[in-house]
Amino acid sequence: MRRFAILVATSWICLSSWAMAAPFDQLSNRLREYDASGATERPRPRSQAASYQEEVPAEENEAETVWDDPLGAWPGLWCGWKDGPPPGFWGRSEILYWWVRGSQTPPLVTTSPDNTPTGVIPGALPGATVLFGGDRLNRQGRAGGRFTLGYWFNECDTMGVEGSFLFVGESRDTFKASSPGSPILARPFFNVQSQQQDAIPIAFRNLPGSVNVTTGRQALGSDVNVRRALYIDQCRRVDVLAGYRFFHFAEGLNVATSSTLTDPQTGLPVRLDVTDSFGTRNQFHGGQMGLNTQFIGGCWTLDLLAKVALGGVSQRVVINGSTIATVQGSPPTPVPGGGLLAVTPNIGRFNRSQFSVLPEFDANLHYQLTPLWRLNVGYTLLVLTNTVRPGDQIDTRLGQFPPPTSPATFPMFSFHNSDVWMQGINLGLECNF
C-alpha cells in the first residue's frame, strides 16, 4: 500500500506537469504582462462580471484563458449565476469516514478444552484457540473531520495560501473474559528455557480468573501550503502547492489479568494481578509539494489532488508492566520485575527519529450550489511510512514467571517499523466569503 500510494501521487504530479508543460511558457508571458500592467490595468471586480461581459462585443470577449477573462475558470458561469464569488477567503468543512490499517498483534489470550490430554500444556500454541490477538486490531471505520481555510491574494485567484486540519475519531476496542476455571484461559508465550511454546494459566480447573484487554488509537494532522496557479482556462485549472505538513499517530495496548491461586504454605487464596502496557507515538514533520488539477464542466468540477511530504518521524515507545499479589487479609504487595511480557529488560521509554514519506491522494467531485456555496464528495488515501505500532514491539519470548529478582534477559526490546495507511470517503460544504 505504501508503494502504491507513493506511485499514485508521484505519477499524478509528473503526468499533470508534463501535460501542462506546453502552455506554461505562454502562461508565464501572460503573467509577466499582467504583473507589469497591474498598476494601470486592474481587473474588474467579480461583482461587475455581468456588465463587463455585456459591454464588450462578443468577438472581443473570446477569452482563451483566465488571464484574458478573470472569470474564465469559474463554474458558476455555466450555472446561470451573474456574479462570481468575491475574492478573499474560502473555507471547507468535511465529514470523514476513514478506515485505518490495523495493528498486527501476536496472540495474547488463548483457551483450550477442559479435557486437554496430560502432557499438553493448556493454552499453549499451536494447539490452543486464540481468543485475542494473532490478527490486525482496530480495523473498523471511524468518523472524523477535516477543516480547510484559504485566502486568495488577488481577484484572479492565482496566488493564495491555505491551511487544513483533520482528525479521525479515536478507536477503542475492548476484550473481556472471565472463567471460574472452565473454560481455560491462558496467556501464551515462547519459553526460552525449554525452547518451545508455553502458556501461563489465568483460569484453570478450580482456579478462577479474568482478562481485560483494551486498545486505543488517535490520528490527527495539519498542513499549511502556498498555492500558485500554473495554468487556467475555461475547462481546467492546475495549481502547484508547497508548504509544511504535520501528522500525529498514537496507539496503546493494555493487557490486565487477575488470577486466584492457593498459597502452598499457608493454604490461603492469593490474587495475582498482572498488567502489560505498550504505547506508541509517531509525530511527522516535513516539507510538502503537491499538484492540484481541476476539470470544470457546467456546475460540476472534478478535483484531483496529489501531495508528497518528505521529512522525519519522531518515534516513541513506552512499555510498562506490574505484578501485584494480594493475600487474603493482607494489603496488596507489588512483586518486583514487571508483568508478563513487560519486564525489566524491555520496560522503559524509548525514542528515535526516522526518515519518513507521507503521500496523499484526493479525488473530489464538486457541485456549485450558489455563487458562494458548493458541495463536494470524494475519496482520500494517505500513507505514513516508518511508524511504530504496539503489536510490533511485543516480544513473546519469556524466561521465567514471576520475573526473577536478578535481571532477566527476555523479553527484549528493539524498534520494529511498519507502515500505516488511511483511506475513506468525505462529504463537505465549501463557502467563499
pLDDT value at residue 399: 78
User: Domains plus CATH for the chain?
Assistant: 2-432 (2.40.128.90)
Helix (H) or strand (E) holding 8: helix 2-19
29: phi then psi, degrees, rounded to nearest 5: -60, -40
The answer to whether residue 3 scores a pLDDT higher than 70 is: no
Task: Render the burial of 414-428: b for 16+ CB within 10 Å, e for the rest.
Answer: eeeeebbbbbbebeb
Q: Per residue in 288-344, pLDDT tens?
A: 999 999 999 989 999 999 999 999 999 999 999 999 999 988 899 999 889 999 998
Per-residue pLDDT band at 363 (split at 50, 70, 90): very high
Question: Would the pTM count as exceeding 0.85?
Answer: no
pLDDT confidence bin for 43, thresholds 50/70/90? very low
pLDDT in tens, 211-226: 999 999 999 999 999 9
C-alpha cell at 248: 500525529
Residue 286 phi, psi dihedral angles, 5° rounding: -170, 165
What secondary structure letter does DSSP report for 78? G
183 preceded by a cis bond (ω within 30 of 0): yes
Which percentage of the chain shows pLDDT scores above 90? 61
Sign of CA dihedral 320, 325, 331, 335: negative
pLDDT of 424 higher than 80? yes
Q: Average pLDDT of 273-285?
A: 97
